[in-house]
Amino acid sequence: MEDIEVEKEEIFDPLKGAVDYLDKILLKKEIISDALDSEDYETAWQEFENLIDGIETLNNLLYSIEGILDLDYSQLEYQGEKLDNYINHLNDFLSNKLITAIEDKDYLRISDLINYELEIHIKEYKKVFNFLLEYLNNNN
């Protein structure tokens, strides 16, 4: 049982880092949007690729924590929503709406999605990390 306690403590810092990173994504969306508006597609795609890589890393962190803490995100709720719904909403937004707009080279749509929808999805996704931080605080 002590090994689990050590692991829980080791999880706390990466979760805090994830919350900080998600806050930074909200700042980076301006860089992407401005680059698209000024037709600096190289910068826009590089920043977008970094954003996708970061989200992928956070997803891996979430699923690792789910296993370490023996949780089931489909059974846990935070603010009236299942945790896996928060995760799935962001991933669906990225893979369906945003990637489709990129494949279609619809730069206006990409800019709109980044300006008006990305923040909503990031804030919802952030709730998973906030839940896990609260969970760790309450179960230590």
pLDDT at 9 over 80: no
Domain count for the chain, please give it: 1
pLDDT at 21: 94
Tokens of 62: 């979430």
CA neighbours within 13 Å on the CB side: how many for 27?
5
Instruction: Please tell me the distance from the alpha carbon of residue 113 to that of residue 97, in angstroms, as a whole number.
Output: 8
pLDDT at 6 over 60: no
pLDDT at 45: 87
What tens digit of pLDDT does each residue of 27-51 get?
888 888 889 889 898 998 898 889 8
Beta bridge partners of 77: 82
Residues 6+ apart with CB under 8 A from 31: 43, 47
What tens digit of pLDDT does each residue of 49-68 get?
898 899 999 999 999 999 88
pTM: 0.85
Tokens of 111: 């800019």
Q: Find the domain containing 14 and state its range.
A: 2-138
